[in-house]
């Protein structure tokens, strides 16, 4: 117990230090060796499983025949830096001033375990796969808004929104398969909206985004955009704020820094292992939290966008309350416009 706790403490310090220092970087450097090196690493898996960590590593079928370079290109979350904030203010020129509406007040103490899937049955939609495109920022945004539409409407608006709408259409500070900023994605969904996945299917998984759709692929479906409520987008910078947002309104889009060990994750509460290398920033959908009695760790319940052949059928747990790899800060969500 003392061994893995010490490893968790060291990993947390290293992970948080690196994330806080990442201000103007866009992508982690990709080398020629990265192009030739498989991301699945049996030696790394063996080292992880020998460290007595609270999680298990293995070969995830999703990343077979994927190189380190390919994995780095999937990490498409860019930082909300000064330039991005200036872009955000520019996008708001000519629009009404933001409301002063505050986040809903949460309980003094949250339940030990909370899962949006059980709290709102049928409203947390299935795991998707971004493919070989740095579009995680778009998946996290549209997936969270899809769930929030269902929750806010008591199930009457139950649609899966299209990440392709953001990848192909949102160029207001975002860059398609080359990455994007979650906060700007939510701002775009406030004023431009997004189509459903059946109207505009996701085809950018090969790294090439199609043009922005002007009609539905399914001709029987009306060309209709779904919006985040105007000026409802919030950024959440503490674990409590994220819990409060999920508890009241459903899943949020979160961000974290991904390391090579994370690719090998199969189950348990993820904490950064020693000697893992950085791959880049990633966006995901945070759906709840819990407490692991075996390790004694609090954790987040998170839905990834790497399909069901990774992790726990596309899901993972990660330590909560210590800002493990930045997961406790930099989350974003807005309300559904119902």
Residues of the domain holding 46: 2-333
How far lies 287's CA from each of 6, 232, 242, 303, in Å?
28, 19, 10, 7
Query: Of 60, 174, 244, 304, which is the active-site residue?
Result: 304
102: left (phi over 0), alpha (psi -120 to 50) or beta: beta
| CB distance 145 to 334 below 8 Å | yes
The helix (run of H) or strand (run of E) holding residue 333 is strand 331-333
Q: Is a pLDDT exceeding 50 seen at residue 21?
A: no
Q: Is a pLDDT exceeding 60 seen at residue 89?
A: yes
Burial 305-316 (b: 16+ CB within 10 A, else e): bbbbebbeebbb
Mean pLDDT, to the nearest integer, of 225-237? 96
Tell me which of 103-112, 115-124, 213-222, 245-254 is least confident: 103-112
Tell me which of 1-5, 191-195, 268-272 is least confident: 1-5
Task: For residue 226, tell me if it sits in a domain.
Answer: yes
Strands (E), 97-161: 114-115
- Would residue 282 show up in a list of annotated catalytic residues for this protein? yes
Exposed (0-12), middle (13-18) or buried (19+): which is 146, by Cβ within 10 Å?
A: buried
Task: For residue 141, tell me if it sits in a domain.
Answer: yes
Q: Is a pLDDT exceeding 90 seen at residue 187?
A: yes
Q: Is a pLDDT exceeding 70 seen at residue 22?
A: no
Measure the N-to-C terminal CA separation of the chain; round to a whole number of Å: 49
Average pLDDT, the chain: 89
327 vs 95: which has the higher pLDDT = 327
Task: For residue 136, tell me if it sits in a domain.
Answer: yes
- Would residue 136 show up in a list of annotated catalytic residues for this protein? yes
Q: What is the dihedral of CA 175, 66, 79, 14, to 10 degrees?
A: -170
Confidence of residue 15 (pLDDT cuts 50, 70, 90): low
Query: Of 169, 199, 282, 325, which is the active-site residue?
Result: 282
The per-residue pLDDT for 79 is: 78
Of 203, 316, 272, 301, nearest to 44 by C-alpha is 272
- Would residue 313 show up in a list of annotated catalytic residues for this protein? no
The per-residue pLDDT for 13 is: 44
Q: Is a pLDDT exceeding 60 seen at residue 218?
A: yes
Query: Of 15, 123, 133, 136, which is the active-site residue?
Result: 136
Q: What DSSP character marks residue 217?
A: S
The per-residue pLDDT for 172 is: 84
Which residues have C-beta within 8 Å of that of residue 176, sequence separation ≥ 6? Answer: 133, 135, 167, 168, 204, 209
Confidence of residue 205 (pLDDT cuts 50, 70, 90): very high
Task: For residue 41, tell me if it sits in a domain.
Answer: yes
The per-residue pLDDT for 14 is: 46
Task: For residue 10, tell me if it sits in a domain.
Answer: yes
The per-residue pLDDT for 104 is: 65
Tokens, residue 281: 């920033």
Exposed (0-12), middle (13-18) or buried (19+): which is 47, by Cβ within 10 Å?
A: middle
Task: For residue 338, tell me if it sits in a domain.
Answer: no
Domains held by the chain: number:
1
pLDDT digits (tens, 9 = 90+) for 284-331: 999 999 999 999 999 999 999 999 999 999 999 999 999 999 999 999
Mean pLDDT, to the nearest integer, of 61-71? 98
Q: For residue 48, give the CATH number of its domain.
A: 3.90.70.10
Confidence of residue 99 (pLDDT cuts 50, 70, 90): very low
| CB distance 139 to 305 below 8 Å | yes
The per-residue pLDDT for 19 is: 39
Strands (E), 215-326: 234-236, 252-259, 265-270, 278-292, 297-303, 315-319
Task: For residue 308, tell me if it sits in a domain.
Answer: yes
Task: For residue 155, tell me if it sits in a domain.
Answer: yes
The per-residue pLDDT for 108 is: 67
């Amino acid at each position: 117990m003392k061994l893995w706790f010490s490893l968790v403490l060291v990993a947390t310090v290293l992970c948080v230090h690196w994330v806080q220092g990442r201000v103007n970087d866009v992508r982690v450097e990709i080398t020629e060796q990265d192009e030739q090196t498989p991301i699945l690493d049996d030696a790394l898996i063996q080292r992880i499983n020998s460290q007595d960590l609270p999680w298990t590593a293995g070969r995830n079928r999703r990343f077979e025949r994927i190189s380190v370079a390919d994995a780095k290109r999937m990490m498409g979350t860019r930082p909300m830096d000064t330039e991005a904030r200036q872009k955000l203010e520019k996008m708001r020129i000519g629009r009404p001033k933001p409301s002063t509406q505050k986040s809903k007040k949460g309980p003094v103490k949250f339940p030990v375990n909370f899962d949006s899937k059980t709290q709102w049955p049928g409203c947390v939609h299935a795991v998707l796969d971004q493919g070989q495109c740095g579009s995680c920022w778009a998946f996290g945004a549209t997936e969270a808004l899809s769930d929030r539409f269902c929750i806010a409407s008591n199930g009457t608006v139950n649609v899966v929104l299209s990440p392709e709408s953001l990848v192909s259409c949102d160029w207001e500070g975002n860059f398609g398969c080359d990455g994007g900023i979650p906060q700007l994605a939510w701002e775009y969904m406030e004023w431009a909206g997004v189509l459903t996945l059946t109207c505009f299917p996701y085809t950018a998984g090969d790294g090439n985004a199609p043009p922005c759709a002007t009609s539905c692929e399914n001709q029987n479906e009306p060309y209709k955009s779904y919006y985040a409520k105007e000026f409802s987008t919030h950024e959440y910078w503490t674990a409590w704020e994220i819990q409060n947002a999920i508890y009241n309104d459903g899943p949020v889009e979160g961000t974290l820094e991904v390391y090579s060990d994370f690719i090998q994750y199969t189950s348990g509460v993820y904490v950064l292992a020693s000697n893992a290398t950085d791959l880049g920033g990633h966006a995901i959908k945070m759906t709840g939290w819990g407490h692991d009695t075996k390790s004694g760790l609090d954790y987040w319940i998170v839905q990834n966008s790497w399909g069901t052949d990774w992790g726990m059928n596309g899901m993972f747990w990660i330590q909560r309350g210590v800002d493990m790899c930045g997961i406790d800060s930099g989350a974003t969500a807005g309300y559904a416009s119902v």
